[in-house]
Amino acid sequence: MRTIRVDRRTARNQARRGFFLSLVSLLLIASLGSLSFQAARSSVPGGYGEQDASLKGTGSESAERVRILERLGVSAWHARGWRGRGMKVAILDSGFHGYREHLGKALPKSVSVRSFRFDGNLEAKDSQHGILCAEVIHSLAPEADLLLANWEPEHPQQFLAAVRWARREGARIVSCSIIMPTWSDCEGRGRVHDELTRLLSPTGGEGHALFFASAGNTAQRHWSGSFEDGGDGYHVWKRDDGIALTENVIRPWGRERVSVELCCPSGDRYEVSVLDASTKEVVTGATSREIGGANCAVAAFIPETDREYRVRVHALGKAKGKFHLVVLGGSLLHARSVGSIPFPGDGAEVIAVGAVDTLGRRLTYSSCGAKGGPIKPDFVATVPFPSGWRSRPFAGTSAAAPQAGALAALLWSRHPEWKAEQIREALQNATRPCSADSATWETGRGLMRLPEPTTLSKPSRSFVP
């Protein structure tokens, strides 16, 4: 499938064509008395009026945006005319449903789009998560060109194909706020990371690119550590009072799919079982297998209403290393926040961005790096970020990563001759400390902010992440 450039005029014409087709059909049907004109009109795409909702908004919303631009140091850059012109930023996500309605508002007037799903549908998932990510970037770097892409779920090669396309299209910045825990060993290793590193390096005349990723919201539903045999081959979870249990409690958030995902180094193998806490029956299970240079298992199920579940981990052979276990769609009773950053943020080639509140305190859900290991997350940003088209602001580490990508776009638009390492170093040098009790493994190098444009000096080229 070829790259498509979609602009507001094209989207409006499509909406008009859809409207006239609907009107013709309506007139035929109306004679039978089966529909009203208003009902048909409400189904036409492009339902927003001409008013730019993302810029006007309410007074309180506009005031909040001004405060955010000041806090990030963006206002001074905009005042001097540095607004991201000449930069291409790719947003990789799964949720772009209805994106045409936001062209010229929350999004630029035109965007380049490409789907790497097998069905080629950029709007296949009923989610607007990717639009919210793109809105953050457009708010901070309004003159940057945006590229939108999705990929086939559970297929890392399609994800890599999306990155490859973005690089060919000239993107120097990639932002991704979707996590895929089983695509690495959750410690930055694996074949997907190896290929991602290669794609971010200079290719075909393009320089290095920067990849920004959300740190993840899994700090309270993740566990990692060495396997500890309780005597029957099952791992034991230690409560705060020291009591060992072979089952960990899972509480689903609703009726949507719950996925229990385990990652471990190649060579170790585990079996994951999920049981109904009331009946003790096994509802699902999986055995780890080699995926992308790591051994991973995914045990997914649709929960019953008001049911509690338990997870057990059984070693198949002698376990030599530690494993990571994360629950998506539910909570985990015995959890560890340390080392909870999943793919892609766990990779050295990726800049992982965590979330803090307005006082610089890590939000409890924001995933953390390992103590004594590489600095992760790399940076943090304040959330939530106000949206111009919905009442709820955009929260989570999903809203943090695109802020970092937008700041990089502003820096690079002023200094297009700089290397990626210099942009990364300039961002690092401009960070501010978080709250006094923040550990490096929680908030990384600190709170992101642009340097003053009049005092910015050229960084060295020897930066090592």
pLDDT at 377: 98
The C-alpha atoms of residue 378 and residue 445 are separated, in whole angstroms, by: 6
Least-confidence region, from 54-58, 65-69, 288-292, 299-303: 54-58
Residue-wise pLDDT for 391-410, tens only, equals: 999 999 999 999 999 999 99
CATH topology of 59-217+341-443 equal to that of 225-332? Answer: no
Q: Quick: pLDDT tens for 74-119.
A: 999 999 999 999 999 999 999 999 999 999 999 999 999 999 999 9
Residue 364 has pLDDT above 80, yes or no: yes
User: What type of residue sits at position 451?
Assistant: P
Q: Give the H or E element holding residue 402.
A: helix 400-414
Confidence of residue 10 (pLDDT cuts 50, 70, 90): low
Measured between alpha carbons, how far is 93 from 105 in angstroms, rounded to an integer?
19
CA quadruple 260, 266, 268, 273: dihedral, nearest 10: 20
d(C-alpha 442, C-alpha 369), whole Å:
7
Q: Which residues have CB under 8 Å from 264's CB, separation 6+?
A: 185, 270, 288, 294, 295, 296, 319, 321, 322, 323, 324
- pLDDT tens for 418-434 read 999 999 999 999 999 99
Domain boundaries, the chain: 4-42, 59-217+341-443, 225-332
Which DSSP state fits 6?
Answer: E
The domain defined by 225-332 carries CATH number 2.60.120.380: yes
Give every CB contact of residue 227 below 8 A, 6+ residues apart in sequence: 235, 268, 270, 313, 315, 319, 321, 322, 323
**What are the φ/ψ torsions at residue 278 (nearest 5 degrees)?**
-85, -50
pTM: 0.87
pLDDT at 60: 58
Separation between Cα atoms, residue 404 and residue 136, nearest integer Å: 10
Architecture of domain 59-217+341-443: 3-Layer(aba) Sandwich (3.40)
Q: Quickly state the pLDDT bin for 1 (edges 50, 70, 90).
A: low
Q: Quote the pLDDT of residue 15.
A: 53
